[in-house]
Amino acid sequence: MPPEATPFCNGDAAVASCSKPLNELFSSLPTTIFEVMSKLAMEHSSVNLGQGFPDAEGPETMKQIASKAMYDFHNQYPSLLGIPELRQAVARHSEANQGIPVDWATETLVTVGATEGLASCFLGLLNPGDEVIMFDPMYDSYVSMARRSGAAIVPVRLRLPDFSVPLEELAAAVGPRTKMIMLNSPHNPSGKVFTRTELKAVADLCTRHDVIALCDEVYEHLVFGGAKHISLRSLPGMAERCVRLGSAGKTFSFTAWKVGWMTGPSRLLNPIIKAHQFLVFTVPSSLQRAVAHGLDQESDFYLSLGPTLEVKRRYLERELVALGFGVLPAHGAYFLVADVSKFLRSGEDDVAFAKRLTVEGGVTTIPISGFYVGAIPPTHLVRFCYCKEDSKLEAAVERLKAYLAPAEESGGDERGGR
């Protein structure tokens, strides 16, 4: 090695010479509130109603097919687009459930969960300087991956208490640089199901201003209370402007499988496929075969999710209201947003309350402010995830009663927050 050469970051002594900045976006991201609350829940043996995954798993037949497929088929790279069986099942599922015909050979792609699908969409469709309209609050991966593509986020805040779309503000947010509107329905974190009127307003803006729509519809079957999920892609003029994403994790309660899919016009899918190719290339074929079976043969499971979840939500809503929480309306997904104003101590916000409730009360929630991108988010709301076994929900309710019950109901003992 020449005298002037030095090892590149070789050991502790070289750390000082490795001071060139790493990726500014990801290096500057704080620890997510989900990780903070989950870690706190584990440390304090809390009943965790924060993390959004179900306790009950999907059909046994799908597990058997996934296991058997590892022995019956080769385990080498499948097509980067996904195996034909699953892509055909995705096309059939689209037409059967939303009335949207899909050419499986040119308009489908299988992804490593919907999250990778979202990343591929942002990277494949957006250029630096493009603007993306997103509804605030929102799932946190949207912002970081869209910004990584070089795009700017234009948040449009949904109105409380029902998270309705401010149509005038939405229209005003569209400008000459608007490339995409990001739509998540049913919505995380609120559980809102976008109405036909709201969807039509989005569709009209897209067609009028030549804008793409990216539709995260992973909770499409998790609807209840008389609501109906309507895909934006089913509206007139939107089939050629929309990319629509689904997820086996949400449809079949197998969140660890990380199998997602998207449908859309080949014009939009082509650059997305290139991004997918260089991010992950492909998806485990044994899991794909199981999901193909599920979409075709296990509709009884995913069509029963909404009614099952409605029972759980009604139970939790009733108990929370009795304790003094204000429960915001929702008709989809498995999240309940509650107003905790009554329980906030002086100077306390939703984050501090959620941490205190975990440590002292033994129940974990997620503060809603962590889902907002715009300035001055609401700080009096928390999210409960209720896709849990009944015994866990009941245990959480008992702990909430013990910690937050009014003093007169607890023998004069001043309980948490009083």
pLDDT at site 81: 98
**Mean pLDDT score, 301-327:** 96
Q: 18 pLDDT exceeds 80?
A: no
pLDDT at site 418: 36
pLDDT at site 311: 97
Q: 11 pLDDT exceeds 60?
A: no
pLDDT at site 12: 56
Q: 5 pLDDT exceeds 80?
A: no
Q: 406 versus 385: which is more confidently predicted?
A: 385
Q: What is the pLDDT of residues 132-142, one digit of tens each?
A: 999 999 998 99
Q: 3 pLDDT exceeds 70?
A: no
| 348 CB neighbour count, 10 Å cutoff | 16
pLDDT at site 97: 96
**Mean pLDDT score, 146-157:** 96
pLDDT at site 6: 46
pLDDT at site 9: 55
Q: 417 versus 404: which is more confidently predicted?
A: 404
Confidence of residue 10 (pLDDT cuts 50, 70, 90): low
pLDDT at site 31: 83
Q: What is the pLDDT of residues 346-364, one digit of tens each?
A: 999 999 999 999 999 999 9
- Strand 335-339, strand 152-157: pairing: unpaired
pLDDT at site 114: 97
Q: What is the pLDDT of residues 118-130, one digit of tens each?
A: 999 999 999 999 9
Confidence of residue 50 (pLDDT cuts 50, 70, 90): very high
Q: What is the 3-state secondary structure (H, E, C) of the chain?
A: CCCCCCCCCCCHHHHHHCCCCCCHHHHHCCCCHHHHHHHHHHHCCCEECCCCCCCCCCCHHHHHHHHHHHHHCCCCCCCCCCCHHHHHHHHHHHHHHHCCCCCCCCCEEEECHHHHHHHHHHHHHCCCCCEEEEEECCCCHHHHHHHHCCCEEEEEECECCCCECCHHHHHHHCCCCEEEEEEECCCCCCCCCCCHHHHHHHHHHHHHHCCEEEEECCCCCCECCCCCCCCHHHCCCCCCCEEEEEEHHHHCCCCCCCCEEEECCHHHHHHHHHHHHHHCCCCCHHHHHHHHHHHHHCHHHHHHHHHHHHHHHHHHHHHHHHHCCEECCCCECCEEEEECHHHCCCCCCHHHHHHHHHHHHCEECEEHHHHCCCCCCCCCEEEEECCCCHHHHHHHHHHHHHHHCCHHHCCCCCCCCC
Q: 300 versus 13: which is more confidently predicted?
A: 300
Q: What is the pLDDT of residues 269-306, one digit of tens each?
A: 999 999 999 999 999 999 999 999 999 999 999 999 99
| 277 CB neighbour count, 10 Å cutoff | 14
pLDDT at site 183: 98
pLDDT at site 7: 47
Q: pTM score, two decimals? A: 0.91
Question: What percent of the chain shows pLDDT beyond 70?
Answer: 93
pLDDT at site 13: 52
Q: What is the pLDDT of residues 187-235, one digit of tens each?
A: 999 999 999 999 999 999 999 999 999 999 999 999 999 999 999 999 9
